[in-house]
């Protein structure tokens, strides 16, 4: 049995009970009573600001009123008709910057209605019921390929199936779900929720899944265009930014945070997953927080996030930063890595230049320090990899991602795109769901001429 103080990268630092406790639901679901009490706080606003703030425009006042009147399944249907991944969004949405920030009770009392937890309450009841509230209309005979089985692709596929089209989802990995399955922090989607939600979505029928198919490998977008009436691309961000420091690819213990989180999410036994004693995370986004908090929860003794600018500029929300800090993660700001320190092929520390903002530009301020580390996570952004998108016509890009119009049409006829791989996105699950839904509606109108 290891301990939090065991040197180096070790598995089994904690007791089985610790792992269970650390990776249980971070927000306990509302009980029936709590849901009633909370639902009755909703004012049923006119042209509700919460609904306006939701990227998928869920009719929040209506679903909360349905909960209050004892109609949980009706509430779930209201939610899912706007956002088929409403269950996952209830768990991962940054509600504090979306619906709950807009809630008039936030304005009035600083205590918004707990919209996210109410949404989870309703969708959980529907998932428990095992019912698929949506039915397919008569088959249109049209075939659509959806490339990428993440939130955008699943949302698109479900809506298309509902509208009567035959859908095939091509997924590079062995499982559908995308970041819901491989990226979200484990304590936000417990009890295999991502796969249960995938099963729920597929239960509408009319969707064929082909796993192990990736563009540029065994999938050709030009051929897809020929075989299908329409193609939706929702491949996400397959690449990560690199530090560009010597030793990044050679020193053991320097790890891509995205890859590590995927490994963690797929681990059958977390006590077998090794983590360092002294962990340093470089980055300031959600991935940095997720890997830092989960390292701590795996038993790392010391975890430090180092971000080159100030806390206000971190892409991780204030809520996520707070979560990191209350989980025992240290956040250090205004420092950027300049070298990786190693010995015997293993990383032993990271040296940082202290930084400051001068005239709006970030510059080294002269100071320098080295943090000891046996594990260094890089979490400085994911990037779109356009491999395999170049068929007969290349999809136009914008700022390195696929360019789309308001209906999520790409520059190439009969190809739509959505989710993190498109330009101008918010890199949020809920935004990806909306992309998929809008693309499906656009595809439907285009194919049916309606």
Residues contributing to the site for another protein (CB under 8 A):
36-37, 40, 43-49, 104-105, 107-108
Q: 111 vs 259, which CB is nearer to another protein?
A: 111
Q: 37 vs 396, which CB is nearer to another protein?
A: 37
What burial class does residue 26 get, using C-beta atoms within 10 Å of its C-beta: 0-12 exposed, 13-18 middle, 19+ buried? middle
Q: 69 vs 368, which CB is nearer to another protein?
A: 69
Shortest distance in whole angstroms from residue 100 CB to another protein: 14
Q: 61 vs 386, which CB is nearer to another protein?
A: 61
Q: Are 93 and 116 in contact, with CB atoms under 8 Å apart?
A: yes
Q: Are 426 and 142 in contact, with CB atoms under 8 Å apart?
A: no
Shortest distance in whole angstroms from residue 40 CB to another protein: 4
Q: 102 vs 331, which CB is nearer to another protein?
A: 102
Q: Is 137 left (phi over 0), alpha (psi -120 to 50) or beta?
A: beta
Shortest distance in whole angstroms from residue 61 CB to another protein: 10
- 205 φ, ψ to 5°? 90, 165
Shortest distance in whole angstroms from residue 81 CB to another protein: 22
What burial class does residue 277 get, using C-beta atoms within 10 Å of its C-beta: 0-12 exposed, 13-18 middle, 19+ buried? buried
- 25 φ, ψ to 5°? -45, 125
For residues 435 and 122, give the distance between their C-alpha atoms in angstroms, rounded to a whole number.
23
Q: 42 vs 176, which CB is nearer to another protein?
A: 42
Please enumerate in sequence order all residues whose Cβ is within 8 A of that of 344, keeping only pairs 6 or more positions apart, or say none: none
Shortest distance in whole angstroms from residue 47 CB to another protein: 6
Q: 6 vs 104, which CB is nearer to another protein?
A: 104
Shortest distance in whole angstroms from residue 108 CB to another protein: 4
Question: For 159-189, b where at least 16 C-beta lie within 10 A, e where not — what string?
Answer: bbbbbbbbbbbbbbbeebbbbbbbbbbbbbb
Name the residue among 429, 444, 447, 442 with its Cα closest to residue 152.
429
Shortest distance in whole angstroms from residue 105 CB to another protein: 7
Q: 102 vs 433, which CB is nearer to another protein?
A: 102
Shortest distance in whole angstroms from residue 74 CB to another protein: 15
What burial class does residue 122 get, using C-beta atoms within 10 Å of its C-beta: 0-12 exposed, 13-18 middle, 19+ buried? buried
Shortest distance in whole angstroms from residue 104 CB to another protein: 4
Name the residue among 343, 344, 341 with its Cα closest to residue 376.
341
Shortest distance in whole angstroms from residue 49 CB to another protein: 7
Q: 105 vs 332, which CB is nearer to another protein?
A: 105
DSSP collapsed to 3 states, 26-60: CCCCCCHHHHHHHHCCCCCCCCCHHHHHCCCCCCH
Q: Are 450 and 184 in contact, with CB atoms under 8 Å apart?
A: no
Q: 47 vs 249, which CB is nearer to another protein?
A: 47
């Amino acid at each position: 049995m290891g301990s939090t103080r065991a040197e180096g990268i070790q598995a089994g630092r904690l007791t089985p009970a610790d792992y269970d406790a650390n990776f249980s639901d971070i927000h306990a679901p509302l009980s029936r009573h709590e849901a009633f009490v909370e639902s009755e706080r909703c004012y049923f606003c006119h042209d509700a600001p919460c609904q306006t703030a939701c990227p998928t425009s869920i009719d929040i006042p209506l679903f909360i009123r349905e909960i209050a009147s004892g109609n949980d399944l009706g509430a779930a249907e209201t939610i899912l008709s706007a956002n088929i991944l409403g269950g996952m969004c209830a768990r991962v949405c940054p509600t504090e910057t979306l619906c709950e920030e807009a809630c008039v009770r936030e304005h009035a009392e600083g205590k918004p209605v707990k919209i996210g937890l109410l949404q989870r309450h309703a969708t959980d009841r529907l998932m428990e019921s095992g019912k698929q509230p949506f039915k397919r209309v008569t088959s249109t005979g049209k075939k659509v390929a959806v490339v990428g089985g993440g939130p955008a692709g699943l949302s698109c596929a479900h809506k298309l199936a509902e509208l009567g089209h035959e859908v095939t989802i091509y997924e590079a990995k062995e499982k559908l779900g995308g970041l819901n399955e491989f990226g979200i922090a484990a304590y936000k989607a417990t009890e295999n929720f991502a796969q249960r939600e995938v099963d729920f979505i597929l239960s509408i029928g009319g969707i064929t899944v082909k796993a192990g198919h990736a563009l540029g490998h065994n999938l050709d977008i030009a051929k897809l265009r020929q075989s299908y009436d329409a193609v939706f691309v929702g491949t996400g961000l397959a690449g990560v930014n690199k530090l560009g420091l010597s030793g990044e690819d050679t020193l053991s213990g320097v790890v891509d945070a995205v890859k590590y989180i995927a490994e963690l999410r797929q681990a059958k036994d977390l006590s077998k997953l090794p983590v360092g004693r002294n962990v340093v995370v470089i980055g300031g986004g959600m991935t940095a927080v997720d890997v830092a908090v989960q390292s701590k929860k795996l038993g790392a003794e010391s975890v430090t996030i180092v971000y080159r600018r100030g806390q206000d500029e971190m892409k991780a929300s204030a809520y996520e930063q707070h979560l990191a800090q209350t989980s025992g993660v240290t956040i250090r700001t205004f420092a950027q890595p300049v070298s990786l320190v190693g010995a015997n092929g293993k990383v032993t520390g990271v040296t940082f230049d202290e930084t400051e903002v001068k005239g709006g530009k970030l510059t080294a301020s002269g100071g320098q320090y080295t943090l000891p580390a046996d594990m260094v996570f890089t979490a400085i952004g994911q990037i779109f990899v356009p491999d395999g998108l170049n068929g007969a016509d290349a999809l136009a890009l914008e700022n390195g991602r696929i360019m789309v119009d308001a209906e999520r049409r790409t520059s190439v006829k009969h190809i739509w795109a959505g989710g993190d791989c498109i330009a101008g996105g918010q890199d949020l699950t809920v935004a990806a769901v909306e992309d998929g839904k809008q693309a499906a509606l656009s595809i439907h109108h285009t194919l049916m001429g309606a």
